[in-house]
Amino acid sequence: MYNSIAMTFTKTIKIFVLTILFMAVKGQSLLAENYTILAFGDSLIAGYGLKQEHGFTRQLEQALNELGHNVTVVNGGVSGDTTSGGLSRLEWVLSGVKGRKPDLVILELGANDALRGIAPAITRSNLAKILSILKREKLRTLVAGMIAPSNMGAEYTMEFNRIFPELSEKYKTDLYPFFLEGVAGNSLLNQSDALHPNINGIKIIVENIVPYILSTDIFMSSATVK
């Protein structure tokens, strides 16, 4: 009788321990949710003038991983790209992102349009088409805004700067108002061309944009699950 009770008790303990282990493993799997972020843009994304490990995508991936998020950031940047160039290659890039659709797309384009004096109406049209594709594919998007150089004139600057918040609102995306916030115009944070951030400039950009990334639906929903 006592042996039977002991065996039953032991069996119950084993079941209890296995249940706890299962819950722990399940909890770890939730915490270890794997996300893919596609950073789609120009030289600011590509990492012009920087070693690969010092570029935006690598620094962003490292920062998010250090915060406990299992994230892969894909570099979809092409130096010199305009919004026209981005539009022409978007669907090809989306089809090849490691065999899966990204959980979040950071859209950073427009700086080269402004530097080349491309009409804001063209930039707006291209970005609208890009956002239409991303919406059709049901991809959560964070629009990284740009600001036109002041030497383009007041009218151009006003028209250009309005593009990003207005399209973000129209297509219901998240918005990071200015990708180069805190970096543009600071010689200590830029390379010798005064246009491209150096390693420290990228670090500032990453620090500034991370809270916006973490406030998107994909991370907020996972925080709720946890």
- The domain spanning residue 84 has which CATH number? 3.40.50.1110
Does residue 209 register a pLDDT over 90? yes
Average pLDDT over residues 11-29: 37
Average pLDDT over residues 97-118: 92
Does residue 222 register a pLDDT over 70? no
Give the global pTM.
Answer: 0.83
pLDDT digits (tens, 9 = 90+) for 56-83: 999 999 999 999 999 999 999 999 999 9
Task: Looking at the structure, tell me whether residues 201 and 117 fall in a common domain.
Answer: yes
Question: What was the pLDDT predicted at 221?
Answer: 60
Structural domain of 10: 1-32
Task: Looking at the structure, tell me whether residues 18 and 113 fall in a common domain.
Answer: no
Question: What was the pLDDT predicted at 124?
Answer: 98
pLDDT tier for residue 223 given thresholds of 50, 70 and 90: low
Q: Is 193 a catalytic residue?
A: yes
48 φ, ψ (degrees, to nearest 5)? -50, 130
Structurally, the chain folds into a number of domains equal to: 2
Task: Looking at the structure, tell me whether residues 72 and 175 fall in a common domain.
Answer: yes
Measured CA to CA, the distance from residue 120 to residue 160 in angstroms comes to 5
The single residue of 42, 43, 113, 168 carrying the catalytic annotation is 43
pLDDT tier for residue 100 given thresholds of 50, 70 and 90: confident
Task: Looking at the structure, tell me whether residues 142 and 154 fall in a common domain.
Answer: yes
DSSP 144: E
Task: Looking at the structure, tell me whether residues 79 and 43 fall in a common domain.
Answer: yes
Measured CA to CA, the distance from residue 132 to residue 218 in angstroms comes to 20
Element (DSSP H or E) covering residue 109: none
Task: Looking at the structure, tell me whether residues 68 and 48 fall in a common domain.
Answer: yes
Task: Looking at the structure, tell me whether residues 43 and 10 fall in a common domain.
Answer: no
pLDDT tier for residue 170 given thresholds of 50, 70 and 90: very high
Task: Looking at the structure, tell me whether residues 28 and 39 fall in a common domain.
Answer: no
Q: Is 217 a catalytic residue?
A: no
Task: Looking at the structure, tell me whether residues 8 and 80 fall in a common domain.
Answer: no
Measured CA to CA, the distance from residue 42 to residue 180 in angstroms comes to 13
Pick the closest to residue 179 from 100, 125, 112, 121 (CA basis): 112
Q: Which of 25-29, 108-112, 139-143, 188-192 has the lowest mean pLDDT?
A: 25-29
Element (DSSP H or E) covering residue 54: none
Task: Looking at the structure, tell me whether residues 11 and 110 fall in a common domain.
Answer: no
Is-contact 41 106, C-beta < 8 A? Answer: yes
Q: Is 196 a catalytic residue?
A: yes
pLDDT digits (tens, 9 = 90+) for 24-61: 333 433 345 799 999 999 999 999 999 999 999 999 99
Task: Give the rounded percent of residues in the chain with a pLDDT score beyond 70.
Answer: 82
Task: Looking at the structure, tell me whether residues 124 and 166 fall in a common domain.
Answer: yes
Task: Looking at the structure, tell me whether residues 67 and 105 fall in a common domain.
Answer: yes
